[in-house]
Amino acid sequence: MKKILVTRKLLQLNEDRLKSLYDAKLNSNDELYSQKKLIELSEGCDGILSSLTDKLDEDTINQLPKSVKILSNFAVGFGNINIEAAKKRNIIVTNTPEVLTDATAEIGILLILGACRRATEGIEAAKTSNWKWSADYLIGKQLTGTRLGILGMGRIGKKIAKIAKSLGMVIHYHNRSKLSSDKEEGATYHKDLKSLMSVSDVLSVCCPASKETINLINKETLEYLPKGSIVTNVARGDIVDDEALIDALDRRKVYAVGLDVYKGEPNLNPGYLKHKSAFILPHLGSATKETRLAMANLAIDNLEEFFKSGKSKNKVN
């Protein structure tokens, strides 16, 4: 029986399945393992079912025991893993695409609505009974007719576009390549980031984190936006330079932000706390029971496929 290290606590149904298939080392206390402890616990293991919270950098991967042949990441992303280091060690890395599209897109829309309609201020006022209706009270931005710029028109971006279009938003996007007309569904393609951002009343960041996209939304690129735009991020915190975005809020270049992800999670840059127009969530993108079950099951499927065939359709390296 193969031996598997599971770095974070999963839902009971997923853990029961793992125990039926493998000699599984489970994390019953949901402890966030240090890199040193992760290395120690992986001794004798054939694979690791990792999470985005595990920092599997080059040094950590180089110290993993030779028995480890697969890192099955419980996430659609894999920015927490040094892909090249794993490849050099002949360790395959897999992810869990597709199954979290709907749940994450729903949060993407919530971020847009929360930022546009001043939800943070409204919630606080309602909790404290500190409000009185008037014609100009907490006036926000209406979605109907607003131009939505989607940075990264992958599965999640396309789903956000579909929902936003039904709300009356006008869709623009930038991608590595132009989609076919049937997949665009009336959206306008922009060849470069500057062109997209210049027409974005609301910018929705949906692209993967990579060397090319780290701090892509920065002091320079934020200037491309029309004054009073809204920036939302449902992808990865590394894509946005927090200091630059906070500065844009300070200067009112950016009207509001909606963030489900940010650098240094769970530690939020305190600069955001100064702004009532910051609508912030604690990385809830995939946080539905259906999605978390499906993600873990796919991570387990990736393990099964690899141990049976030496391959995986969700291999990323």
- Which tens digits make up the pLDDT trace of 238-293? 999 999 999 999 999 999 999 999 999 999 999 999 999 999 999 999 999 999 99
Looking only at the bridges linking them, the beta strands covering 92-94 and 147-151 are unpaired
Cα–Cα distance list, 16 to 24, 70, 259, 262 (Å): 10, 21, 34, 33
Annotated catalytic residue, options 118, 283, 292, 305: 283
118 is catalytic: no
- Which tens digits make up the pLDDT trace of 294-304? 999 999 999 99
Annotated catalytic residue, options 17, 172, 190, 236: 236
Cα–Cα distance list, 6 to 9, 14, 228, 278 (Å): 7, 11, 45, 35
Q: Where are the domains of the chain?
A: 3-99+288-309, 101-280
CATH topology of domain 101-280: Rossmann fold (3.40.50)
Share of the chain above pLDDT 70, in %: 100
Annotated catalytic residue, options 15, 121, 223, 265: 265
Q: What angle do CA 60, 65, 69 make, to 5 degrees?
A: 95
DSSP H helical ranges for 199-241: 219-222
**What CATH number is given for 3-99+288-309 in this structure?**
3.40.50.720
Looking only at the bridges linking them, the beta strands covering 229-233 and 254-259 are parallel
Cα–Cα distance list, 56 to 28, 53, 285 (Å): 21, 9, 22
Residue range 148-162: mean pLDDT, rounded: 97
- Residue 215 identity: N
Q: With 90 as the cut, is the pLDDT of residue 79 above it?
A: no
Q: Report residue 217's pLDDT band, with 50, 70 and 90 as the boundaries.
A: very high
Same topology between domain 3-99+288-309 and domain 101-280: yes
The model's pTM is: 0.92
DSSP H helical ranges for 271-312: 289-309
305 is catalytic: no
pLDDT at site 210: 86
- Which tens digits make up the pLDDT trace of 82-131? 999 999 999 999 999 999 999 999 999 999 999 999 999 999 999 999 99
275 is catalytic: no
